[in-house]
Amino acid sequence: MKQIGIVGAGPVGHALARRLVELGYVVRIANSRGPASLQEFAKSTGSKPVDVTDISAGVEVLILAIPFGRVPDLPKSVITSLPDDAIVVDAGNYYPRRDGVITEIDQGLPESQWVSQQLGVPVVKAFNSIIASRLADQGKPAGDGRRIALPVAGDDLAGRRAIMRLVEALGFDAFDAGSLAESWRLQPGQPAYCTDATTAELRSLLARADREMAKRNRDKATEILAKLPSDYPADQLVRASRTMVGLDKLRPASWFAVLRLAATVYLRKQQKRDAAPDRLSTPQ
């Protein structure tokens, strides 16, 4: 596996492109704005920018790292140009506030099954349950006790195993999360989402997944993230997330992360309120 295409030049696309190029893969990158908009991206990652209509020719893996609402807008050639044995990876997540309401998912269809239906091909779910910056810099050698485990789900066993090998090459423990029907356990708001779990931890967190609770957790997390500065430390978010799902409860640093998060949200809310014009005192 040496030829990889990535659609999406956001944080996840950037992290994957840079790391895969470092590992010796030939990476092609495309977005909706065309190759001319990707020159800086290409320079910083070593990837080759191409038009999205040409992204699939000759690739062995195609990774979709785009907002869910944009999946139906992909040109048909993205799929029709794929080699017969190519593997499509869904690295995205559904956020209704960003993507608009997708009724089928809201009614319980796993996100990646919806993606598969939109594209008309099987997909493998991977790389969606970790913060992009952690994907870029937290890979560890095999056997390192701090190694983060990433779940991989898909209906085709050979495809799933191929992406698991890719996960391992990137410095993470690949966890077989089963079929695409079970991929709802990897989605935003679930205990396994963005907690940098080890293999043992991940097995337990996936088993604790709750469909209804996840929706509330996802929407609450979206509200919190919207109130944070863009440079809020990823490691602090992970610490807080781990504490909230019952991990690291005896570590003072974890509770500090929770308190820091709450204080930051409160202060940002106050700053926004103070900056708002006082309608009662504003001259008419």
Top CATH class, 3-209: alpha beta
Residues 231-247: tens digit of each pLDDT: 999 999 999 999 999 99
**pLDDT score recorded for residue 283:** 45
Q: Which residues pair with 4 in a beta bridge?
A: 27, 61
Say which residue the tokens 């050979």 belong to. Answer: 158
Question: Domain extents for the chain?
Answer: 3-209, 227-275
Query: Is residue 13's pLDDT more than 60?
Result: yes
Residues 29-53: tens digit of each pLDDT: 999 999 999 999 999 999 999 999 9
Residues 97-150: tens digit of each pLDDT: 999 999 999 999 999 999 999 999 999 999 999 999 999 999 999 999 999 999
Interhelix angle 252-275/234-244, nearest 10 degrees: 110
C-alpha to C-alpha distances, 226 to 12, 32, 220, 222, 229, nearest whole angstrom: 18, 25, 10, 6, 8
Query: Is residue 22's pLDDT more than 70?
Result: yes
Task: Name the average pLDDT for the chain.
Answer: 94
